[in-house]
Structure 1
Amino acid sequence: MKTTLLLEKEAVENLLPQKFPFVMVDKMFSFDETSLVSGLKIQSENIFSENGTFLEAGLIEHMAQSVALHTGYAFFLKQEKAPTGYIGSIKQIDIKKLPNVNDEIQSTITILQEFAGITLVDIVTTLNNEEIASGQMKTVLAK
């Protein structure tokens, strides 16, 4: 688990297009031009929590919002309003384990390609330094 915290819940929420109760990222640990590490402490009231387990849809949404946070923070640094983005495609998401309520997950996104508002990213999600999910997504910025 990374300990350096760059942004906490409120700052993160301001950079995401999603709003409560649909926010699935509450921390940013690191950021550079081609990568970001985000986190989420799973609460019992999370809309993707069911019977103490964080569902697959929540994990995928957490991954997608981690990509959105990278875009939002990059535009914030340029003092520009971030455009809305959409998931263009999801390529082979592999979910090995579902986290539970009160677990803290962390996702590392790595930008593989970026061209004309389309970004291809690799995403790895961990729980206690164990990989629990991975995959690739293409995101598209709205024009």
Structure 2
Amino acid sequence: MVDEILKKYGIRGRTKIIASGKLLTPDKIAMALALGADLINIARGFMMSVGCIMSQVCHKNTCPVGVATTDAELQQALVIEEKNYRVTNYLIALRQGLFDLAAVAGLDSPTKFKREHIVYHSDFRKVINEEDGSGG
């Protein structure tokens, strides 16, 4: 919707769309790119890769695994020498998955995803194209 409105008013070329919110996997990122996102913001995936257990106490500065705290004692639970490999592995796997999806769609880059690449199953297992609403 945002992409279409920006195009309608002729300002899409001067504006960047940043997608965020539970974009943890290559398929979700590909969908956001196809819908017009220029950039993807990933927080949750990286937090989990560094060891976040989602105890939902970030705002209390009492993170039990040391990820979201400034308490020096609690920070000791975060072993950076170990976690840097996990973060790197997540990023590499995410990137590879995204490029694999692009290749399956016949693209040489995930930045080339467009609406016509989006298809999904209806409630009755009919394949529907996002661009024109047609079945296949």
Q: TM-score by structure 1 length?
A: 0.27
Q: Which has the larger radius of gyration?
A: 2
Larger helix proportion of the pair: 2
Larger RCO of the pair (alpha carbons < 8 Å, separation 6+): 1
So what's the TM-score if we normalise by structure 2?
Answer: 0.28
More strand by share: 1
